[in-house]
Structure 1
Amino acid sequence: MNQQLNKLTELSVAPARVIVGLMSGTSLDGLDVALCRFLGAGTETKIELLNFKTISYTAEFKEELKSVSFKSSVDLQKVTLLNAYIGSYHASLILQCLSEWEFPAANVDLIASHGQTIFHAPASLHRLPEYPNATLQIGDGDHIAVKTGIITLSDFRQKHIAAGGEGAPLAVYGDFLMFCSPVENRILLNIGGIANFTFLPAGHKAELVFSTDVGPGNTLMDQFVQLHYPGKHYDENAAIANTGKVNDDLLNALLNDDFFALGFPKTTGPELFSLSYLDAARERSATTGLHNEDVLATLCEFTAVTISDAIKRSMNGLDAFEIYMSGGGMHNPLLVHKLSKLLGKELKDTNALAINPDAKEAVLFAVLANECVSGGQLSFGSRPGLPTVLMGKISLPA
């Protein structure tokens, strides 16, 4: 038997696995690297986060990513080159982290790489009836495997789409395995570039779990700051938005989109919620002359309203649940205050559940890799948007 295939077979039945999880989100700001130890799989999964680091991208590299991301027309040569470059670059960052942590690469069993999303195209967005849901992440897994010498799982979202889903959100699978409680109804709210949440009813009832994107998280606020405040990548501590006032006319125009009337689950991305979306809303509401701080205050309100409305609609009157946050949006005090007020609840973060909230998304993909290699016993039923599948393409280092 091929030595690497034999290693996979041994890993599938081993009592423990060490997995590096990688996440680079739609904010295009850096790579999250989580070193995890797993015991078991499925509902018996036990996770220890051994180390975690976020490595910020340079301003030049961010611009390279922006040039091919979330646009219907881009330079195909650059996409092709970045696919290989990002794979090799992420591999070097993994090796850098392992060296800093004094953890030998030979002791890592698997790498789980999300890749870099450059276009997400669910049918609800592209509206071309002859085409299916689709998504594209670059950062080739073979390059990671060969450069690190570690078996790599990547391109997780394609299987989800092939099985009838939209490729997002995938958080539901990891949230279920990491955070289900026998006694507490929980909402795991992730506010990244796009906001999504998973509802975990008390008890390990996979067939009742619910997950959906809800709309913009930080993406519109971040894009606006980057355009109008050179050198800033986001509104740190909501310092700018706190000096502005919400404009109801602009808010109502932002909320006036067919996406928000769609049923759950659904998915979206910066392809819809872009500066063009904001500009169109400002034109419709005659607010093109609005001060920047008022625009940011309104965008923050927009994110808060869409998240709270989606949670209220989904819960259908149920009030007995706790909310645990992750993602960059949890560091925005104005947004968190607005959400808490709209939902009438204290918002916690996943530190309360023993997982660093900044590491959660990277850990999620490590969970998906662990399930792909050693799990496969779960069933989420046959509901639309939540197929029961094992995800991740396997790249061997030799």
Structure 2
Amino acid sequence: MNKHWKQTFDIVQKAEKKIIGLMSGTSLDGLDIALCTLKGHGRRTEARVERFKTVPYTAEWKAEVKAIFSRHDADLERVCLLNEQTAIVHADMILSTLNEWNLKPADIDLIASHGQTIFHAPRALHGYENYPNGTLQIGDGDHIAVKTGIITLSDFRQKHLAAGGEGAPLAVYGDYLVFSKKGENRIMLNIGGIANFTFLPGDEDSKRVFSSDVGPGNTLMDQYMQQYFSQHFDQDGAVAGRGESNQDLLTALLDHPFFSAGMPKTTGPELFNLAYLESAQHRSATSGLSHEDVMATLCHFSARAIADAVLRTNEKSISLFMSGGGMHNRLLVSMLKELLPDALFFTTADLGIDPDAKEALLFAILANETMSGEPQPFSAESGIPSVCMGKISLPF
């Protein structure tokens, strides 16, 4: 037997696995690296984050990726080259971090790599009748496996598409396995570039579980801050806090079929970008607003999109657990609490998981399920295909 397939077979049967989960989001802050211990599988999964680090990207690397990110006119040669180069950059970051943690590649069973999304194209966005849902992540798994010497699972979203899903959100699989609690209705809210949540009913009925994007989290605020304030994001909502939300602009921003469409649904910066804001300002005759007032309105926009979606669950008693960069925006969180007065607010730290590490952990859980688990019995109506995901790359 090929030695790497034997190694894979041995890993499948391990009672406990050491898996590195990787996440690089649309904010392009850096690569999240979570060293996770996974025991069991399915509803018996026990997950623990042993070490976590975000390795920041250089300004030069961010510019490289932004040159092809969510662009209809992206240069195909650059896309091709960055698919390979992203993997090499990520592999170097993994090796450097392992060395910092006094670990060797041989100490790690698997890498679970999300890659870097550069375009997300569900039918609802692309509008081409004869084409399927689509999404594209760069960062080739074979390069990571060969350079690190660690078996790598990657390209998780493609199986989701092939089985009829939209390729996102994938958090529902790990959320259901690890965070469900009998007797408590939970919402696992991730406020990244795009905000999404998983609804976990207290009766633990998998057929009632669903996960959905709900609209912009940080993406529009971040884009506006970068354009007009030369800052990557609005620290603590300080800039937005100096302005006043404009109702006419807010109404125009919320006037899009995405918000009235049923859940689950997905979206991305392909829709929610500065061109979307410019159109809303034109329609609402608010182009003369101060930058601070625009930021206040964009913050209110994100809060309304999230709160309106939570209210559509029609559950009176909800415990809401936050993760993602947006949970650090104090103004955004205060708006959410005002809009959702009956919800109890927590972060995943209250469940023993670093909120910043949660997404990387979820991909480690997906890899564990692919190696040792079985598809969970979600309902077709929920938009959650009952599949295991991730392509396996061997290090030779």
TM-score using structure 1 length: 0.98
The answer to which of 342-351 and 185-194 deviates more is 342-351
1:55 equivalent to 2:55? Answer yes
**1:93-242 counterparts in 2 under 5 A?**
93-230=93-230, 232-242=231-241
Q: State whether structure 2 residue 328 is matched by structure 1 residue 354.
A: no
Kindly indicate whether the alpha-carbon contact (under 8 Å) linking 2:109 and 2:151 is maintained by their aligned counterparts in 1.
Answer: yes
1:48 CA drift (Å) = 1.7
Confirm or deny that 1:390 pairs with 2:388.
yes
Alignment map for 1:373-384 (pairs within 5 Å): 373-384=371-382
Deviation at 1:207, TM superposition (A): 1.8
Aligned-residue Cα RMSD (Å) equals 0.9
Q: Number of paired residues? A: 395
Preserved CA contact (<8 Å) 1:207 1:379:
yes
Q: CA deviation at 1:380?
A: 1.1
Equivalent position of 1:330 in the other structure = 327
Using the alignment, how far apart are the partners of 2:71 and 2:107 within structure 1?
A: 40
**Which letter maps to 2:335?**
K
What TM-score results when the alignment is normalised by the length of structure 2?
0.98
CA contact (8 A) 1:36 1:51 kept: yes
Q: Offset of 1:352 from its aligned partner?
A: 0.4
The amino acid that maps onto 1:338 is: M
Distance 2:178 2:33 in 1: 18
Q: In the alignment, what sits opposite 1:296?
A: 295
CA displacement at 1:203 relative to structure 2: 4.3
Q: What's the counterpart of residue 262 of structure 1?
A: 261
Q: Which amino acid aligns with 2:130?
A: E
> What's the secondary structure of 2:159's corresponding residue?
helix
For structure 1, the residue ranges without an aligned partner over 5 or more in a row are: none
Structure 1 residue 382 displacement after superposition: 2.4
- Please state how far the C-alpha of 1:108 moved relative to its aligned partner: 0.3
Tell me the residue number matched to 2:272.
Answer: 273
Q: Identity of counterpart residues, as a percentage?
A: 58
Moved more, 204-213 or 134-143: 204-213
The residue aligned with 2:20 is 20
Find the partner of 1:368 among 362, 366, 369.
Answer: 366
Deviation at 1:350, TM superposition (A): 0.2
Structure 2: how far apart are the matches of 1:173 and 1:346? 23
Task: Provide the secondary structure at the position in 1 that maps to 2:112.
Answer: strand
CA distance in 2, matches of 1:273, 1:397: 39
The runs of 5 or more residues in structure 2 that have no matched partner are: none
Task: Quote the Cα distance in structure 2 between the aligned partners of 1:155 and 1:236.
Answer: 32
Aligned to 2:244: 245
Q: Is the 8 A contact 1:49 1:355 kept in 2?
A: yes
Letter in 2 for 1:370: N
For residue 86 of structure 1, what is the aligned residue in structure 2?
Answer: 86
Q: Which amino acid aligns with 1:233?
A: H
The whole-number CA distance in structure 1 between the counterparts of 2:92 and 2:275 is: 36
Alignment partners' CA distance in 2, 1:191 and 1:357:
10
Is the contact made by 1:180 and 1:203 (CA closer than 8 Å) also made in structure 2? no
Judge conservation of contact 1:30–1:57 (CA < 8 Å) in 2.
yes
Query: Contact between 1:195 and 1:216, CA under 8 Å: does it hold in 2?
Result: yes
**Within 5 A, what are the aligned runs for 1:311-322?**
311-313=310-312, 315-316=313-314, 318-322=315-319
Where 2:213 maps in the other structure, the secondary structure is: strand
Could you give the per-residue CA deviations for residues 289-323 of structure 1, whole angstroms, max 9, x where no partner exists?
Answer: 1100000000000000010001101x22x211200
SS at match of 1:135: strand
In the alignment, the residues of structure 1 paired with residue 381 and residue 284 of structure 2 have an alpha-carbon distance, to the nearest angstrom, of 39
Query: Partners in 1 of 2:7 and 2:259 — Cα distance?
Result: 47
Counterpart-to-counterpart distance in 2, 1:382 and 1:305: 28
Deviation at 1:384, TM superposition (A): 4.8
Deviation track 1:49-103 (CA, whole Å, cap 9, x = no partner) reads 1100001111111111111001111111111111000101100100111111112
User: C-alpha offsets along residues 124-156 of structure 1, whole Å, 9 cap, x if unaligned?
Assistant: 000110100000000000000000000000000
Q: Which runs of 4+ in 1 moved over 6 A?
A: none
- How far does the alpha carbon of each residue in 1:150-209 deviate from its partner, in whole angstroms, 9 at most, with x for none? 000000000000000000000000101110112211100000000000011124422221
User: What letter corresponds to residue 175 of structure 1 in structure 2?
Assistant: D
